[in-house]
Amino acid sequence: MKDHPEGEVDLRPVLRDWGIDAVVLDYAAVGFGDYHWLATAADGRRWFVTLADLANKVHCGLGVVAAGAGLRRAMDTAWHLRHTGLDFVVAPEKTTGGDTVRPVGGRYAVSVFPLLDGSSGDFGDTPRGSVVDLLATLHGVAPPECVPVLEPDLALRSRLEGAFGELDCPWDTGPYGESTRELLAGHQDGLRRRLAEFDRRIAELSPERVVTHGEPHPGNVLWSGEDRHLLDWDTVGLAVRERDLAFATAEELERYEELTGHRPDPATLSTYRLRWDLDEVAIYVELFRQPHARTEDTGLAWAELAEIVAKL
């Protein structure tokens, strides 16, 4: 995130729960959704610190309490995967009390990760290389008890449909409120048709569920030499395999079948591509229905919302 979190969040006392006495905290304006810092101790050791805004962590749960519990399950799952043999999982470190997540400031939660050398891309980049073999390995593990069980429907489905019922009144919530209302008003019929199509599709999904990452795009792949690591495990959960393969190339899908014996279903792949777009629409509409300011992050969100709605 380019923006900083609302209010003052003092991370130094929290980091002591990990035995980290940070002398330097440098804000890292990377990613979208969470806030990040690089923490450096007096002896030169460094960590990657993530602050999650639980009020907006809807894929983990609606509301601060539910999102906090969901995030903890996700981080516990990542820790379990890492420590039972999946070296490519970049998992959080535990506090001295054995926790992967530490609540702070009422609406936030902190996780601490090892700082790894390497480079990653952004969502939409041309992949540097395939991670389909990593996904094949992940999909073959026994699900730990802590893994979140995911429903295919949109987390914010009811709120998106609620927004359709409020298109006759101005959205005086910020600089992008009215633009969002006008965008939805102009495309409401088309979006409703796509939601109905999505409902038909998810009713036909296979009952098989495996451990999935959720967002294995180039922005979540860290390359360290020839080693690959998967980042951002807050989206981990039990789902159909195609959740992780929706944007794979034809060659990657063939390779996946060779590795696993499972042929990805074209209809399910298409369903999860549609789900991705509808989910983004729901998240951005919810953002602009709330009080917001004009910042680099909200400007990017508005541009992406307009692009996705046009595509849908």
31 confidence band (pLDDT: 50, 70, 90): low
Number of domains in the chain: 2
Helix, coil or strand: residue 121: coil
144 & 88 share domain: no
**Which pLDDT score, from 0 to 100, does residue 54 have?**
94
77-95 average pLDDT score: 97
Can you give the residue range of the structural domain that contains 282? 118-312
The per-residue pLDDT for 300 is 92
- DSSP label of 36: E
If asked whether residues 312 and 189 sit together in one domain, one would say: yes
Q: Rounded to a whole number, what is the distance in angstroms from the first to the last CA of the chain? A: 26
Give the number of C-alpha atoms closer than 13 A to the C-alpha of residue 200, restricted to the C-beta side.
8
Residue 47 sits at the vertex; the CA angle it makes with 127 and 2, to the nearest 5 degrees, is 60
- Amino acid symbol at 253: L
The per-residue pLDDT for 123 is 66
pLDDT tier at 2, thresholds 50, 70, 90: low
- Count CB neighbours of 106 within 10 A: 9
- Position 1 scores a pLDDT of 46
Q: Which of 70, 98, 115 is the last residue of a domain?
A: 115
* Statement to judge: residues 222 and 283 lie in one domain: yes
**Residues in contact with 305: Cβ distance below 8 Å, sequence separation at least 6, in sequence order:** 180, 183, 280, 281, 284, 285, 288
Give the DSSP per-residue string, 62-112.
SSHHHHHHHHHHHHHHHHHHHHTT-TTB--PPPPTTS-S-EEETTTEEEEE
Q: Which of 115, 136, 159 is the last residue of a domain?
A: 115
Among the candidates 115, 134, 163, a domain finishes at 115
Judgement on whether residues 91 and 124 belong to the same structural domain of the protein: no
- Give me the mean pLDDT over the 150-158 stretch: 94
The 10s digit of each residue's pLDDT in 230-287 is 999 999 999 999 999 999 999 999 999 999 999 999 999 999 999 999 999 999 999 9
| Separation in Å, CA 15 to CA 87, 105, 144, 268, 286 | 25, 14, 27, 42, 32
Q: Which amino acid is at 51?
A: L
Residue 188's pLDDT is 95
Beta bridge partners of 103: 109
- Considering the domain architecture, whether residues 206 and 160 belong to the same structural domain is answered as yes
My answer on whether 247 and 129 are in the same domain is yes
pLDDT (tens digit, 9 = 90+) per residue, 183-239? 999 999 999 999 999 999 999 999 999 999 999 998 899 998 888 999 999 999 999
How much is the pLDDT for 119?
82
What is the CATH number for 153? 3.90.1200.10
Domain CATH code at residue 25: 3.30.200.20
| Same-domain check for residues 22 and 140 | no
- Percent pLDDT > 70 in the chain is 95
Q: Report the C-alpha gap between 255 and 245 in whole angstroms.
A: 12
For the chain, give the mean pLDDT.
92
Is the pLDDT reported for residue 128 higher than 80? no
Q: What is the pLDDT of residue 127?
A: 67
